[in-house]
Amino acid sequence: MKKFFEEFKAFAMRGNVIDLAVGVVIGGAFGKITTSIVNDIIMPAISMLTGGINFANWKWVLKAAETSINEAGETVVDVAEVAITYGNTIAIIIDFIIIAFAVFCMVKAINSMHRKKEEPAPEPAPEPEPSAEEKLLTEIRDLLKEKN
């Protein structure tokens, strides 16, 4: 059992796991910021451009609500409305697109930083291969050295 906990500790303390945990926490906070931007800034602007339509109210009613009037004269809903509310889905899709674009930009920036770190210094150009004439002269020089 002790070995199990030691293995878990080694796993949990690896850099990748800690980086992932930090990413999840920051991602959660970033998601809240993006949702607020979409709900509080973008969707009202789109609503204004479309004539004041509230996206949250966009729906396709499959079956209207059934109501009746009780003894006190109040309207009572007997059967709730059945509807597909797609307006909220539009806001969520816009939210997703913004988050995906931001993540893409961050990954692109991180990858470019990694590429800059990984680029090795250019290797010095290898000395050119000696020509046949130079090889012959070198051999003659070496032979003359041996004779002397």
Domains of the chain: 2-119 (1.10.1200.120)
- Residue 35 buriedness (CB in 10 A; 0-12 / 13-18 / 19+): middle
Is 82 a residue whose pLDDT tops 90?
yes
Which of 11, 129, 28, 114 has its CA nearest to residue 3? 11
| Tens-place pLDDT, residues 95-133 | 788 888 887 888 898 888 877 777 676 777 788 888 889
Interatomic CA distance for residues 65 and 135, integer angstroms: 100
Mean per-residue pLDDT over the chain, rounded: 84
Residue 47 host element (H or E):
helix 43-49
Report how far apart, in Å, the C-alpha atoms of 20 and of each of 15, 16, 27, 142 are.
9, 6, 10, 65
- Residues 6 or more apart from 116 whose CB is under 8 A from it? none
Select the more confidently predicted residue: 25 or 20: 25
Average pLDDT over residues 55-70: 87
What pLDDT is attached to residue 15?
67
pTM score, whole prediction:
0.50
Per the model's pLDDT, the better-predicted residue between 135 and 55 turns out to be 135
